[in-house]
Chain A
Amino acid sequence: MKLIDSIPYGNPKAASKQMEFVTVMVAGQLLGLPISRVHDVFVVSEMTTVPLAPGEIAGLLNLRGRVVTAVSLRRRLGLGDTYEGGRRMAVGLENQGEAYGLLVDEVGEVLKLNPDEMQPNPVHMDRGWVGLSQGVHQLRDQLLIVLDVDAVLAFETEREAA
């Protein structure tokens, strides 16, 4: 699956400093997750909804006794969940010993990008997104938002603090 033209603007001499990002698409926006935080990409099969759970939690996946919390990235970004059946893709992450499946619209390729070329979040970026973004990379024809995985999975902490 190729979502984008993977050639970013930048200095080719800086290749040795490059970091890899697993790209995902949500609501037409390209987002990147540091590959060091990603341990799998998988298709979600059966999911159990959790009554009274935070809105970001789409459900629980019970995989041979191992419980994985499915988090909707759409909801986490304040977008509507438009799932209408069919294949659901998830990115496997871990945080503080807990396993999460981050539900996304699509999983793309892995991009190598130079961290020195990451730019601050644009001033017009939605305030809800700013807290979840480490910065952006300008690619040839679109912007890639680098997700802060810890912040994305910190929705319960945020709620407790509110």
Chain B
Amino acid sequence: MSLDLSTPVLIVDDYQTMLRIIRNLLKQIGFNDVDEAKDGSEALGKLKEKKYGLVISDWNMAPMTGFELLQKVRADAELGSLPFIMITAEAKTENVVAAKQAGVNNYIVKPFNADTLRSKISAVFGA
């Protein structure tokens, strides 16, 4: 399966600079339908308004963490199977296990680059 670059992607991070950097990396990969949310609540609102094909979220956010956002997405009847990639600064085994158990599709540990992002996205879509 090839990677569908027209897939709408929602990126979630409470750090505006990282939002811009991730958006730019996705643009370099070829994604052109990219929206941003600055926290979990805004992300949930956007996910209800538009049909996204992928969420890329930072873990360490306030007041709702990326992990809590993942749990809410998975608990939602409409969004439950939405592909979800988590970005985190920590590679703690317990975090990875917790995220996997909560249904994350892939996990990116910082620092990362466009190639890492592309390969993680490709792995999610089996491309």
Contacts and interface: CB of A to CB of B under 8 A. Distances in A.
Interface of A: 1, 20, 22, 35-36, 38-43, 63-64, 68, 90, 92, 94, 99, 101, 107-110
A64 B90 CA distance: 11
Contact of A36 (B28, B110, B111, B112): B28
Nearest to B91: A64
Interface of B: 15-18, 20-21, 24-25, 28, 89, 91, 109-114
A20 B24 contact: yes
A43 B18 CA distance: 13
A22 B22 CA distance: 12
Given A40-B112, A42-B89, A92-B112, A110 B28 contact: no
Contacts of A63: 109, 111
Contacts of A40: 18, 21, 110-113
Nearest to B112: A40
Contacts of A36: 24, 28
Given A20-B24, A40-B110, A110-B16, 9 more contacts: A1-B15, A40-B18, A42-B89, A63-B109, A64-B109, A92-B113, A94-B113, A108-B17, A109-B16
A90 B24 contact: no
B112 A35 contact: no
22 contacts: A1-B17, A20-B24, A35-B20, A35-B21, A35-B24, A36-B24, A39-B111, A39-B113, A40-B21, A40-B111, A40-B112, A42-B110, A43-B89, A63-B111, A92-B112, A92-B113, A99-B111, A101-B111, A107-B17, A109-B16, A109-B17, A110-B16
